[in-house]
Structure 1
């Protein structure tokens, strides 16, 4: 019996939608990362991009443990001396609630060439409205 190797022409990128209301950030990021990478599909092949598109709505209503809103700190550096910027999770949610989910999912994906390709299929919106109704997304299980 031969091992099945999927071809690039055989790939199918489905559309899924996730409502982040009341869901924990880490658990939600794991579910989204699995769908983006395609690892949960039976046809998954390491060198073929078989991931799906994921739409996340209500990103501003995602949950964290109460103390993590002040204790979880995000860092970024401009590259110049004294260029370190830090923000708490509460500050990020107030300003850009989409970035909480995007950053968590980015950390869940494999660090290789495909990570940016997979993240290109992630669409996060702070509210309940999204412009992808024509794709008829299904609920992500």
Structure 2
């Protein structure tokens, strides 16, 4: 009889992947990043184990958007108190803090559990081309 092999957390090797966002579509970058963080690009993917790689996104402020999303899309926050709903335009978030926008968009594609929170911690986003993770990246 053959059994399916499940990956164990202590046997997983993690790589560092650098993605340059210059002139790439924002949504395509995010879906690629989510699958890498989840570990779906590896042959030993296991849903209940964090088997993804570290992802470094550089030049985050140079991504493109398709359609009119940049002008029309809004993000909402609510603290739980009455009347505390706040609206943030996507264009303002992209200009002021693109790192937060990338993390917020990626979080929506990951599991809504502590496993998803640990996966999101492996995402590093930088608006420019400089990043402090050159020592971890091979090749």
- TM-score higher than 0.5: yes
My pick for the range that moved more, 114-123 or 56-65, is 56-65
Aligned to 2:9: 8
Aligned to 2:43: 42
Aligned to 2:117: 116
Task: Show structure 1 runs of 4+ deviating over 4 A.
Answer: none
1:26 aligned to 2:27? Answer: yes
Q: Tell me, which stretches of 5 or more residues in structure 1 are unaligned? A: none
Count how many residue pairs are aligned between Structure 1 and Structure 2.
Answer: 138
Partner Cα separation in structure 1 for residue 96 and residue 67 of structure 2? 18
Q: CA, structure 1 residues 22+137, in 2 after alignment: closer, same or farther (shift >3 Å)?
A: farther
Counterpart contact for 1:20–1:58, Cα < 8 Å: yes
What do you get for the CA RMSD once the two structures are aligned?
A: 1.4
TM-score, length-normalised on structure 1? Answer: 0.90
Partner Cα separation in structure 1 for residue 138 and residue 16 of structure 2? 5
Q: Tell me, which stretches of 5 or more residues in structure 2 are unaligned? A: none
Aligned to 1:128: 129
My pick for the range that moved more, 110-119 or 125-134, is 110-119
Please list, as runs of the form range in 1=range in 2, the aligned pairs for 1:53-132 lying within 5 A after superposition. 53-132=54-133
